[in-house]
Amino acid sequence: MAENLKRNDGLPPAMTRLVKELARLPGIGEKTASRLAFNLLNRPRDEVIALAESLLEMKERVGLCAECFGLSDAPRCRICDDPEREHDLICVVEGPADLMAIERARTFGGIYHVLHGAIAPLDGIGPDDLKIGELLARLRDADAAVREVIIATNATVEGEATALYLAKVLKPIGVRATRLARGLPAGGDLEYSDSATLSSALSGRREL
Ligand SMILES: [Zn+2]
């Protein structure tokens, strides 16, 4: 793609560079990247500065919560820091977008653990590449006294494989493990499920 851009764009180098950077983003092809670059060129300077600054600010400020590994701009996220939440009920999700989907449903009062992926042997992703060791450490912490872990990985092959693996490693710890009910469409990603579906999947969860 880089070669393509070099050969036939006829753009000033600063523009070519922006198109190249934008085209790295998921779902943005070369055409869309060019369209976005032209749009930005025609925008007022203060808007472009606001966009550039927001990118840098996000990168500098947003990291992972030390407890749940959700996104946070503080050492611990707002959910982990909230005394009103049930800290003995942990919902395990694949990614931050899944956490946000469950939060939008507004029915879950516990806290989270974000795995940052799912087991996918074909892509070379095993349990050690996910925050599973960190989850076990949280559960073994006697102060946490976790009573239930809800496994809310996606209803995909990888999500199911991850749920099975978690059920296996959670057993010796003796904590109750449940899985979201089969309300979610098979192959469906949690983050795209509507709130009503997510709420019923949560309330109808089953033992593992
Ligand atoms: Zn947290």
Report the pLDDT value the prediction gives residue 7, as an integer from 0 to 100.
53
The Å distance, Cα 73 to ligand 1 centre, comes to 10
Report the pLDDT value the prediction gives residue 142, as an integer from 0 to 100.
75
Report the pLDDT value the prediction gives residue 182, as an integer from 0 to 100.
66
The Å distance, Cα 108 to ligand 1 centre, comes to 15
Asked if 99 contacts 122 with a C-beta cutoff of 8 angstroms, the reply is: no
Q: How confident is the model at residue 183 (pLDDT cuts 50, 70, 90)?
A: low
Tokens of 180: 């979201």
The Å distance, Cα 90 to ligand 1 centre, comes to 11
| HEC letters along 10-56 | CCCHHHHHHHHHHHCCCCCCHHHHHHHHHHHHCCCHHHHHHHHHHHH
Q: Across all residues in the chain, what is the average pLDDT?
A: 90
The Å distance, Cα 3 to ligand 1 centre, comes to 43
pLDDT tens column, 143-159: 778 999 999 999 889 99
**Which of 31-35, 104-108, 109-113, 195-199 bottoms out in mean pLDDT, i.e. has the lowest?**
195-199
Q: Please tell me the pTM assigned to this model.
A: 0.78
Report the pLDDT value the prediction gives residue 200, as an integer from 0 to 100.
80
Contacts of 16 (CB under 8 A, 6+ apart): 5, 6, 9
pLDDT tens column, 41-83: 999 999 999 999 999 999 999 999 999 999 999 999 999 999 9
The Å distance, Cα 68 to ligand 1 centre, comes to 4
CA distance 205 to 183: 9
Contacts of 193 (CB under 8 A, 6+ apart): 101, 184, 185, 201
